[in-house]
Structure 1
Amino acid sequence: MTHALTLNNIEVIYDHVFLAIKGVSIEVPQGGMVALLGANGAGKSTTLKSISGLLKSERGEITRGSVQFMGQDIGKLAPQDRVKLGIAQVLEGRRVFEHLTPDENLIAASAVRGGRAEMQRNRDRVYSYFPRLQQRRTAKSGYLSGGEQQMLAIGRALMTQPKLLMLDEPSLGLAPLIVAEIFDILRRINREDGMSILLVEQNAIAALDVVSHGYLIENGRVVMHDKAEVLRDNPDIREAYLGGAEGRDFKDIKHYRRRKRWLA
């Protein structure tokens, strides 16, 4: 199986001192949909930024391992060069230009690629996935609902025609119905465009419903990796993520701690 993305034993250090992720290895198959799960502060966002090249702006650097995209080592490339290769990251927190309309946001994001005809084609495609955005295309983006802003953030990423779409906590702060709608659209984008998708989520229930495989990261290490249905049925994941843990973290669950020793 060809892989769009391969992270091989990545180590990331911030400020030459703090070891944020410790030997993380992940594979996203070409045209595949994979989730990176974990609690807050586990290292999920850092992993994404090591792929998109956004670590440097936060004084982070990869000190070991390699990041390969479509067979090419991209560890030394600037973020904009990674975008040109086909990597797009939707940052956490729905970052859109609030003073611009959805239309203007999409046009601004298309500067990376092609001419006017291509921009219009890409914009029409975004609106076909997100008809709600088309209805609100002339409103100021700051007046959109949280769900609509998230759709716009994804639409902006799609304007760069990515081969790999990475999303950081797209469900954060959204109602379950909106999350289900957005995840359905992501599944459609994956199926219809053959786009590889890496989904970073705390919401394991929603994520494991749409992906084929998942990785569980804790304290900067991958502690589990399996097919989505296997992870969904795993008693530890069920207890800590799928209800029944009453907000407790993985480390509070003895059964999980025991198993983690074996995994290590």
Structure 2
Amino acid sequence: MSLLSLNNIEVVYDRVFLAVKGVSIEVPESGLVGLLGANGAGKSTVLKAISGLLKPERGLVTRGDIAFQGASIADLDPPQRVRLGIVHVLEGRRVFGHLTPAENMLAATSMHRDRAKTRELMDKMFALFPRLADRAKAKAGYLSGGEQQMLAIARALMTEPKLILLDEPSLGLAPFLVDEIFETIKRINQETGVGILLVEQNAAAALDIAHSAYLIENGRVVMSGPAEVMRSNPDVQDAYLGGAQKVDYHAVKHYRRRKRWLA
């Protein structure tokens, strides 16, 4: 049984704009799945449909169904989905800048009544992210971008989720921090068995850690498969991985590659 299953969902904004068009996605138990695509392709909208965060942006799932552990969650509000085990790390990190890392993590533990358990979870997060332990007394607004991303992930893990939705964790980070963040994501998946659906424009980094991936363009899934198969596909290489072969654009008067999956 899949942990998460999207079956032919469509998402409309303002009852007019069709942003997601018949998307079907599967995240297996303990799976790490990448959702790739260019900016504006509909990746973040898919995550918000899963976590229930479409309504504040006047979005609505108008067709299809979303199932979590075999049961439909279409009628559940966001807090109910969190209690089921779905947590969403939004693009841009969104930490509470006026609170310390510990206070940020504590804010995500309203479902835990046991203070000892909360303390144990926080100790695990500081062990997983030593940088946060070093900056434990600093306000989160003064942390670096990479440290804020670590804090956003740690705060999500405080809910003891079964599925983490990660939206652009590499956004705005230096390359060495991107490597560190992605290595941590891989460790979390391997050591805890938490399922991860990773939205990422950095296709190379995502395919290095993902088990499988979906490629979305213009609101539609145009390709899917194991990560190694996606990585070796020449169209994916040319469009998202820097090119399967070098092209001398100076020697070409008018160059336009048509992606074969759109033909």
Q: Which residue number corresponds to residue 39 of structure 1?
A: 38
Structure 1, residues 172-218: CA drift from partner, whole Å, max 9, x if none?
Answer: 01011111111111111111111000000000010000001000000
Letter in 2 for 1:187: K
Q: Which residue number corresponds to residue 64 of structure 1?
A: 63
Letter in 2 for 1:259: W
1:111 Cα deviation (Å)? 1.5
Cα separation, 2, equivalents of 1:53 and 1:131: 32
1:131 Cα deviation (Å)? 0.9
Identity %: 63
Is contact 2:145-2:173 (8 Å) kept? yes
- Secondary structure in 1 matching 2:148: helix
Letter in 1 for 2:24: S
Matched, 1:20 2:14: no
Structure 1, residues 128-172: CA drift from partner, whole Å, max 9, x if none?
Answer: 211111111111111100000000000110011100011000000
User: Structure 1 or 2: larger helix share?
Assistant: 1
Question: Structure 1: which 4+ aligned runs deviate by more than 3 Å?
Answer: none
Cα separation, 2, equivalents of 1:94 and 1:62: 25
Aligned CA distance change for structure 1 residues 97 and 259 (closer, same or farther; 3 Å): closer
Cα separation, 2, equivalents of 1:158 and 1:259: 37
Structure 1, residues 228-247: CA drift from partner, whole Å, max 9, x if none?
Answer: 0111111111111111399x
- Which of 254, 257, 262 matches 1:253? 257
Unaligned 5+ residue runs, structure 2? Answer: 248-255
Cα separation, 2, equivalents of 1:208 and 1:89: 20
1:121 Cα deviation (Å)? 1.4
- Secondary structure in 2 matching 1:88: strand
Q: Which residue number corresponds to residue 112 of structure 2?
A: 113
Structure 1, residues 35-87: CA drift from partner, whole Å, max 9, x if none?
Answer: 00000000000000000000111111111000000111001100000000000
- Secondary structure in 1 matching 2:49: helix
Q: Which residue number corresponds to residue 252 of structure 2?
A: none
- Secondary structure in 2 matching 1:3: coil
Unaligned 5+ residue runs, structure 1? Answer: 247-251
Cα separation, 1, equivalents of 2:99 and 2:155: 13
- Secondary structure in 2 matching 1:214: strand
Q: Which residue number corresponds to residue 97 of structure 1?
A: 96
Q: Which residue number corresponds to residue 253 of structure 2?
A: none
Matched, 1:236 2:252: no
- Secondary structure in 1 matching 2:93: coil
Q: Which has the larger radius of gyration?
A: 2
Q: Which residue number corresponds to residue 172 of structure 1?
A: 171
1:118 Cα deviation (Å)? 1.4
Letter in 2 for 1:253: R
Mapping for residues 105-184 of structure 1, pairs under 5 Å: 105-184=104-183
Is contact 2:222-2:261 (8 Å) kept? no
Cα separation, 2, equivalents of 1:38 and 1:13: 19
Q: Which residue number corresponds to residue 249 of structure 1?
A: none
Cα separation, 2, equivalents of 1:149 and 1:68: 31
Q: Number of aligned pairs?
A: 253
TM-score (norm 1): 0.93
Letter in 2 for 1:182: I
Cα separation, 2, equivalents of 1:162 and 1:113: 13
Mapping for residues 158-237 of structure 1, pairs under 5 Å: 158-237=157-236
